[in-house]
C-alpha cells in the first residue's frame, strides 16, 4: 500500500510583497473590486431597463457583465481577507474545490462568450441586413440558444477539468499536463474561431467603399478586440507555466483575475455612445428625484 497523506488545507502564497504594504494593497484591491462590481451592475441595469439596447450585441454584453461580476467575486474577497488576516492565507479543501470550480466555470464560459460575440460582430458587419432582422422573435430565440450552449459548455469543461484534477496527486507533472491540455484546448479552439471571424470581418471591411464606413465598422469591433486580447494574452501566459513561482507570473495572475473584469464596464461604457447616453439619462433622473 502506498503512503498518502490526506490534504485538508491549502496555503495561498499570494502576491509577494513586504508586510508593511498589506494596508496599501488592501485599499487598492478593494477599490478595484468595488469599481468592478458597480460598473458591471450598472451595465446590467442599463441594458435591462432600456428597450433600445435589447439587441443581440447588448444581450451578450449583459452576459459578459454578469460573468465578470461573479468572476471577480469568486477570488477578490478571499484576496482581501488574506491581506488583513493574522492567520495567513489558509483555505480549506472544500473551499478550494468550490473556488477552483467557480473560477474555471466562469472563465470557460467567458471564453465561449467571446467567441459568440465575435460571431455577432461578423454578422453585424458582413450581413448588416440579416443582423437587423435579429430583432425578430426567432432570432431572439437563437441568441438564447447560443447563450444556453455557452453556459452549458463552460459547465461541462469545468466539470471535466476539476474531476480529473482532484483524482490525481498534487504537485505532479500529470496535474500540470491536465491543466495545460484542458484549458489549452478550449482557449486555443475559441481563439482560433475568433481569429477566423475577424479575418472574415476584415475582408468585409475592406469591401466598404468609403473611409467613414470602414472607420465605423472598425469602431464596432475595437472594444471586443481589446477585451479579447486582455483576456487571452494573460491566460496563455499563466497556463503555459502552471507551476511557476516567479513574481511576475503572480502579477499577471492578479491582472487576469482583478483588472480584466474591470475592463468590461470601462471599455464598453466609455467607448459606447448608446451606453453613455443611457447612463447620462439615468444620472439626470436620479439627480432630479433627489432634488424634489
Structural domains of the chain ordered from first start: 19-291 (1.20.1070.10)
pLDDT at residue 7 in the model: 62
R_g (Cα) of the chain, nearest Å: 21
**Per residue of the chain (292 residues), what is the pLDDT tens digit?**
455 556 666 666 666 666 777 788 889 889 999 999 998 998 888 888 888 888 888 888 899 999 999 999 988 888 888 777 766 577 777 777 888 889 889 988 999 999 999 988 888 888 877 776 655 555 677 788 889 999 999 998 888 878 877 766 655 666 666 666 667 778 888 889 999 999 999 888 888 888 888 888 887 788 888 888 888 887 777 666 655 566 666 677 777 788 888 888 888 766 677 777 777 777 777 666 766 6
Structural contact between residues 201 and 122, judged by C-beta atoms closer than 8 angstroms = yes
Phi, psi of 158 (to 5 degrees): -70, -35
Beta carbons within 10 angstroms of residue 248's beta carbon: 10
pTM of the model: 0.84
Whole-angstrom Cα distance, residue 102 to residue 178? 18
Query: Which triple of cell numbers denotes residue 240?
Result: 503555459
pLDDT at residue 1 in the model: 46
Structural contact between residues 62 and 48, judged by C-beta atoms closer than 8 angstroms = yes
Beta carbons within 10 angstroms of residue 32's beta carbon: 17
Structural contact between residues 227 and 114, judged by C-beta atoms closer than 8 angstroms = yes
Whole-angstrom Cα distance, residue 205 to residue 201? 6
pLDDT at residue 30 in the model: 92
Query: Which triple of cell numbers denotes residue 162?
Result: 476539476
Amino acid at each position: 500500500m502506498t503512503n498518502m497523506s490526506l490534504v485538508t488545507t491549502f496555503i495561498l502564497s499570494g502576491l509577494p510583497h513586504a508586510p508593511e504594504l498589506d494596508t496599501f494593497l488592501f485599499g487598492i484591491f478593494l477599490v478595484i473590486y468595488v469599481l468592478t462590481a458597480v460598473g458591471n451592475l450598472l451595465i446590467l441595469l442599463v441594458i435591462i431597463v432600456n428597450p433600445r439596447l435589447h439587441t443581440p450585441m447588448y444581450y451578450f454584453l449583459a452576459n459578459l457583465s454578469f460573468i465578470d461580476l461573479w468572476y471577480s467575486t469568486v477570488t477578490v474577497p478571499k484576496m482581501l481577507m488574506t491581506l488583513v488576516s493574522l492567520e495567513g492565507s489558509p483555505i480549506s479543501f472544500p473551499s478550494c474545490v468550490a473556488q477552483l470550480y467557480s473560477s474555471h466555470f466562469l472563465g470557460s464560459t467567458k471564453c465561449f462568450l467571446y467567441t459568440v460575440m465575435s460571431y455577432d460582430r461578423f454578422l453585424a458587419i458582413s450581413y448588416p441586413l440579416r443582423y437587423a432582422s435579429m430583432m425578430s422573435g426567432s432570432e431572439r430565440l437563437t441568441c438564447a440558444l447560443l447563450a444556453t450552449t455557452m453556459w452549458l459548455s463552460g459547465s461541462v469543461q469545468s466539470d471535466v477539468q476539476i474531476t480529473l484534477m482532484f483524482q490525481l496527486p498534487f504537485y505532479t507533472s500529470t496535474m500540470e499536463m491536465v491543466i495545460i491540455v484542458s484549458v489549452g484546448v478550449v482557449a486555443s479552439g475559441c481563439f482560433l474561431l475568433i481569429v477566423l471571424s475577424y479575418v472574415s470581418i476584415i475582408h468585409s471591411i475592406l469591401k466598404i467603399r468609403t473611409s467613414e464606413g470602414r472607420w465605423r465598422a472598425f469602431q464596432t469591433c475595437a472594444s471586443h478586440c481589446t477585451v479579447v486580447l486582455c483576456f487571452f494574452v494573460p491566460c496563455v501566459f499563466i497556463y503555459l507555466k502552471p507551476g511557476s513561482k516567479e513574481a511576475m507570473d503572480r502579477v499577471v495572475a492578479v491582472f487576469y483575475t482583478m483588472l480584466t473584469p474591470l475592463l468590461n464596464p470601462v471599455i464598453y461604457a466609455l467607448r459606447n455612445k448608446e451606453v453613455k447616453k443611457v447612463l447620462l439619462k439615468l444620472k439626470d433622473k436620479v439627480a432630479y428625484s433627489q432634488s424634489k
